[in-house]
Amino acid sequence: MSRLPEPVALEVIAATDATPISWVPVAGGSINQAARVDLSDGRTVFCKWHERAPEGFFRAEADGLHRLAATGTVRVPTIVGLRDDPAGTSVLILDYIDASTAPDDASMADLGRTLAALHAQAGKPPGLQEANFIGSLPQPNETIEGWVEFFVERRLKPLSAALDGATRRKLLGLNFEQLLSEPAGGCSLLHGDLWAGNALTTDRGLGYVIDPAVYAGHPEVDLAMTRLFGGFSEAFYAGYQTVSGPFDAGLDERLDLYNLYPLLVHVNLFGGAYVRQVARTVERFE
């Protein structure tokens, strides 16, 4: 068996008082390296690491997990250890969640219910006290009084510079104040990056979320992301609606507008087809 990178192994030992005895690389992310690590005391942890990560990169993720856990709604893995070292290798160690089985209706419904419970805790201003990250991109969170203005100024504008001039002008020229609305009762804490790869389900019928990019916003932002790349079953949406009440007829169009943000994230990271997808969405709402 090859050895874990020394900074990772040392952080595991420091955080757990146990020795790594075996490890298996875990695929699925394009930013960090990750592994399931078995320990000498019988426990298993999940480690992710990044050489020369931006300052505060894993600290922001840990903060997001803490904030979500504090709501008592969505399930997240427990943080075991954290090493934030922008000059070397940054490491985040979490409890290992065994999500090796395919999602079933029970676990997806549980995920939907707990997400809706998170969103039901409204009354927050948009944004967050500090900036964080979405993927590897900085995410500015300075609050603005109105949610729709926040979405345009803090989410769309900063990333729209990667578009060609004509598409950017059309995007920022859309009448978002008319197309979107303020959340009833104020904003809620969001996961912020809820694609299927950031949702785990277990054979015990439980759903977990990982890799958040938290801030307070409209609950429909999280719902939009679940639709963008698929992977969430009808049981998830049925579970959500047992808490939130039924979706209204205009939801699908609003979700397409909210998905302009993750699409712009992908434009900045990957370009290509995502530019065309943004342009097609903008054209629909001109």
- List residues with catalytic annotation: 193
Strand partners, 133: 138
Tokens found for residue 256: 């397409």
Report which DSSP code applies to 198. Answer: G
Closest CA to 108 of 211, 238, 220, 223: 238
Evaluate whether 213 touches 64 at the Cβ level (below 8 Å).
yes
CA dihedral 191, 195, 274, 132 (to 10 degrees): 30
11: helix, strand or coil: helix
> Would you give the distance in Å from CA 93 to the centre of its chain?
18
- C-alpha Rg value of the chain to the nearest Å: 19
**How deeply is 265 buried, as exposed, middle or buried, from its count of CB atoms within 10 A (0-12, 13-18, 19+)?**
buried
- CA–CA dist 231, 282 (Å, integer): 25
